[in-house]
Amino acid sequence: MIVVTGAAGFIASCLVTRLNAANFNDIVVVDNFAVERKLANLKGKRLREYVDRNEFFDWLDTNHEQVEFIFHLGARTDTTEQDKAVFDLLNVEYSQKMWRACCRYQLPLVYASSAATYGSGTLGYSDEDALLPLLKPLNPYGDSKNAFDNWAVQQPEKPFFWAGLKFFNVYGPNEYHKGRMASVIFHAFEQIRQTGSMTLFRSHNPDYADGEQQRDFVYVKDLVEVCFFLMTNRQHSGIYNLGTGEARTFLDLTLNTFQALGRPADVHFRDTPEDIRDTYQYYTQADMSKLRGIGYDRPFTRLEDGIDDYVRNYLVPGTYL
């Protein structure tokens, strides 16, 4: 039996599909299932049980002997949310409770961290433990993820295997419900389809031209392959970056979306909204040497190929992974 939290969300629902493809069908999905717009992500998947996130630890106390692995991907992920108490409750305290339960019942754990922990990137993007206490995230979401990472590595008692994954800019199927927090590729697709053009944020940093802001964009299909690898190779615990190791520009992303749609490129710029301007990351690029060093050798999908697959096979027909 495998537990996946945040299961109705973007990344976790794609992971469930990957597990089903490998004939893992005894899956317990955990989430707030009252959020109806997410439920389509789980339609047609082979599952054992739905458990409300507020009831999960009682469920685990009763069923822990049947559980083989836990993927804790549930979190509040809105980077514009400023209420620290929300993140303390859902991202820190809930994760601490999950950690302690995995220690108590000797269950392996993979949990979601974030590249938002790196803040402006002035200290680089190394996932070595020594950097963790020095990081200064730019928003409460990043603070919450960094707080848990620091707490985890300092614990004297740990699950016999655990991994925290610092997700970089993830894109791909099953993000229809995410609204403002959906990937730029999703927003580009919607804008191009509706207006024939795409508007990107203008640069407010003299070191970057408009559209030349760079991020490490990682396809969700690659991300779940790493999760699967860690589940089946439980040898090297720790915190790992999960990007591609190659930064690409938002203009690259947008032009490839036009190409996947067979439309002529028409790109405009507008000011970055003031509520995120001061906390905007202009460059991220994952140092992937640590994950590669433990034997993960699959290539990551090129941005061009990932966008083409996402747009043509999911966004255009409106289908799910």
Is 204 assigned a ligand-binding role in the annotation? yes
Go through 279-318 and write b for each residue having 16 or more CB atoms within 10 A of its CB, e for each that does not.
bbbebbbbbbebbeeeebeeebbebeebbbbbbeebbeee
Helix (H, G, I), strand (E, B) or coil at 49: strand
**77 marked as binding residue:** yes
**Residues 43, 320: Cα–Cα separation, whole Å:** 9
> Is residue 247 marked as binding?
no
- Contact predicate 4/227, CB 8 Å: no
**203 annotated ligand-binding residue:** yes
Q: Enumerate the active-site residues.
A: 141, 178
* Residue ranges of E strands in the chain: 2-5, 27-31, 49-52, 69-72, 109-114, 162-167, 169-171, 198-201, 214-215, 217-219, 238-242, 248-249, 267-270
Is 230 annotated to bind a ligand? Reply is no
For residue 68, CA distances in Å to 14, 26, 96 come to: 19, 10, 19
User: Cβ atoms within 10 A of the Cβ of 63, count?
Assistant: 15
Query: Residue 263 annotated as binding?
Result: no
Q: Is 53 annotated as a binding residue?
A: yes
Q: Would the annotation count 32 as a binding residue?
A: yes
Q: Has 76 been labeled as part of a binding site? A: yes
Q: Is 178 annotated as a binding residue?
A: yes
Convert 115-134 to b/e letters by CB count within 10 Å (16 or more is b): bbbbbeeeeebebeeeebee
Would the annotation count 38 as a binding residue? yes
100 annotated to a ligand binding site: no
Binding residue positions: 10-11, 31-32, 38, 53, 73-77, 145, 169-170, 178, 180, 187, 201-204, 215, 280
Binding residue positions for substrate: 169, 180, 187, 201-204, 215, 280
Binding residue positions for NADP(+): 10-11, 31-32, 38, 53, 73-77, 145, 170, 178
